Chain A
């Protein structure tokens, strides 16, 4: 029987069935589960790398060694991995190399809305785009065929709705692949100028062959419904268009979005009176069609911001709008918040209390920017908190360094914060860095990292000693504080801000959602003692609210972390 699988789970199944032997990734929504799922197969070596660049380089080495290899990342992770990837395009492969990149139209869990197809075009690497779970499996397998046939890495692009939707998938047995022989071949693998010049020629020839392949590839499909309107589409957008328009239009559904076929576009367009291009984010299919001289409409109708869906398409092309009845009142929004018992709260409460400028980073703790803490000034990308603070402090001197910190999680620090801390020490900036060490990669759903002492498979692993590491980099002032102890954390922050040298505070307390973390009994409010001063509400804890003028703690959420108990001047919050 077919099994319901997330796109990511099906992707992993495809890698497994295709005989993949090596997977290295860094977690990132919505790509994370591909690697978590492939780690469940004993035949595949799978690991979390500290960042996407390391992951792609490791997978490249594994493919040079003759194995079918894999790396996964989210769209912004591909920026980090772009350096090895662009040159891997020149070297080509030995065993097949598939790289998954998951875009996030609508930015459900991302800091930008970039379209990864640009990377495929710029690096001249073929890209496949599945539109449901079965295609995730099939395209992962096809990716290896293309990779080995054309001697190239293959990018497979998913998006949130493909990666995180479940649909039925047929499972087949694994085809075991022997390692291909490795032969030393500097002209192919040593990319110094003399050899790279030769390889660039190979890449251009390969692209021509790939365009020929794309003209007749079975994954570039025409659905001819004898209609006058033609729709050219790919990925999730195909599913939305199919639901909205059914069999009333002809479809050219592209499973391969780089390089794009030419004759196929022209032949399809020639049979249609009107051509629409329906694609999420940028107008890449549209530019290609227009370069071929095809009259078509796309972005002028649909724009390039956010996700598409069947209602938008039906409204824009058919003028149909569903009948909608809304709730008769304005409703309060429910933004994401730090969980009850989140160890980051003790840090951010103190930063907010002292109006400290905060250079933020990527993780659950970016929620420190939200009401009521509002303790963040900027957040850009993984690892940027430390380097941005360094630049800010160098320009503004003491007036900044005395009241500014960088905050960065343990996993993000290992990802790319490390280099920035080296810069702080090396170039002597008077910066204060708080490493929020919650012993896990939190936001993406609890992945191990080099500081946690466990690997992807859950086995014991070497753990980075953060204190020793910071010392080794050249930071003399390194101290550990417990974020559940508000005054201890406050003292650490104020003292380190006051000194005239770089310092690191490690805020150490495991994420309250980790299974091994024992929770204390929920706290409760003695309503006779509570003055209703609302001081405890300043913590922004979702378990604390006001009921009839008194504070009230939701026992289903409270984990007994105790920071509200410390904050209450009247001792109204009790065990």
Chain B
């Protein structure tokens, strides 16, 4: 099987590390060779962050470059637009509709782009936009947006829900598992 590439993008602090670990765990359970690449340190402090998940028969490079991604999972709209050039032709974007102003917008040096979803669709991208923040708050915490999006993604991939549940059990601390299961279920229902 040809190597598949997924990017998880968002703003530092939104929980992309947990999402990538859940996804990596699911793929490993399915018997794929998997690489997950994270960035730690300074760029995590509210900056634009990206995590790569690659899987297939054999995976060499852990990174995904422009024109290489099959799917982009985005926690924030502007970040979906920023990384869209990494998609292959025919690639898909699953994005939260949450917006977070970056510092140049806050200081007035730039404006937040408008109608991002429409413009992404105009690039012939298959875009799924979900209000993950509201669903996460419904589940009990705004921080669970990442797991809501995993729920959405799980409906778009061919693996059994049980595999995802097992990955949740392995990746989420026990005291938050109920809330995250709820967030995951709300993500699945949104599809």
Contact = CB atoms under 8 A, between A and B. Distances in A.
State which size class the interface on A falls in: 35 or more
Contact of A327 (B45, B84, B104, B111): B84
B12 interface: yes
Nearest to B67: A322
Nearest to A3: B28
A309 interface: yes
Interface stretch (B95-103, B150-158, B178-186): B95-103
B119 A334 contact: no
Interface in A1-18: 2, 4, 6
Interface residues of B, number: 63
A334 B87 contact: no
A108 B123 contact: no
Contacts of A242: 60-61
Contacts of A165: 35-38, 62
A69 to B, nearest CB: 25
Contact of B66 (A236, A324, A332, A556): A324
**Taking each of A4, A339, A366, A554, which has the highest tally of chain B beta carbons within 10 Å of its own beta carbon?**
A4
A177 B95 CA distance: 51
Contacts of A336: 12, 42-47
Contacts of B33: 167-168
**Taking each of A160, A332, A534, A557, which has the highest tally of chain B beta carbons within 10 Å of its own beta carbon?**
A332
A497 interface: no
A329 interface: yes
A239 B103 contact: no
Nearest to B103: A337
Given A165-B62, A167-B34, A327 B103 contact: no
Contacts of A371: 103-104, 107, 109
Given A4-B28, A309-B65, A325 B43 contact: no
Interface in A530-544: 534, 537, 540-542, 544
Nearest to B125: A325
A381 B79 CA distance: 32
Q: Is chain A's binding surface mostly helix, strand, loop or mixed?
A: loop
Interface string A247-279: 000000000000000000000000000000000
B20 to A, nearest CB: 8
Interface in B33-91: 33-48, 59-63, 65-68, 78-79, 81-82, 84-85, 87-89
A372 B33 CA distance: 45
Interface string A321-362: 011111111011111111100000000000000000000000
B47 A239 contact: no
A327 B38 contact: no
Interface string A494-535: 000000000000000000000000000000000000000010
B129 interface: no
B103 A334 contact: yes
B105 interface: yes
A364 interface: yes
A444 B84 CA distance: 29
Contacts of B34: 4, 166-168
Contacts of A542: 46, 100-101, 103, 106
A444 B45 CA distance: 11
Contacts of B16: none
A53 interface: no
Contacts of B67: 311, 322-324
B69 to A, nearest CB: 10
B61 A166 contact: no
A160 B63 CA distance: 11
Contacts of A541: 106
A328 to B, nearest CB: 6
Contacts of B111: 332
26 contacts: A4-B21, A4-B36, A164-B37, A164-B40, A166-B35, A167-B33, A167-B59, A168-B28, A240-B61, A243-B61, A244-B61, A309-B65, A310-B60, A324-B66, A324-B67, A325-B123, A326-B84, A327-B119, A331-B78, A333-B110, A371-B104, A372-B107, A443-B41, A537-B106, A540-B106, A554-B100
Interface in A287-345: 307, 309-311, 322-329, 331-339
A569 B184 CA distance: 44
B44 A161 contact: no
A311 B37 contact: no
A307 B64 CA distance: 13
A372 B133 CA distance: 28
B146 interface: no
Nearest to B143: A556
B163 interface: no
B166 to A, nearest CB: 12
A109 B84 contact: no
B134 to A, nearest CB: 11
**Taking each of A2, A108, A445, which has the highest tally of chain B beta carbons within 10 Å of its own beta carbon?**
A108
A108 B102 contact: no
A546 B103 contact: no
B24 A4 contact: yes
Given A109-B41, A311-B66, A240 B60 contact: yes
Nearest to A323: B67
Contacts of A487: none
B107 A537 contact: yes
A165 B53 CA distance: 9
A338 B42 CA distance: 10
Contacts of B24: 4, 166
Contacts of A338: 45-46
B28 A545 contact: no
B82 A331 contact: yes
Nearest to B46: A337
B120 interface: yes
Nearest to A237: B61
A370 interface: yes
Nearest to B29: A1
**Taking each of A109, A132, A544, which has the highest tally of chain B beta carbons within 10 Å of its own beta carbon?**
A109
B178 to A, nearest CB: 19
Interface in A145-170: 160-161, 164-168
Contacts of B25: 4
Given A4-B24, A166-B34, A339-B45, A161 B63 contact: yes
Contacts of B68: 311, 322
Contacts of A389: none
Nearest to A538: B107
A367 interface: yes
Contact of B39 (A108, A332, A366): A108
A30 interface: yes
Contacts of A164: 37-40
A4 B85 CA distance: 29
Interface in B138-189: 142
**Taking each of A167, A367, A370, A371, which has the highest tally of chain B beta carbons within 10 Å of its own beta carbon?**
A167
Contacts of A329: 81, 113, 119
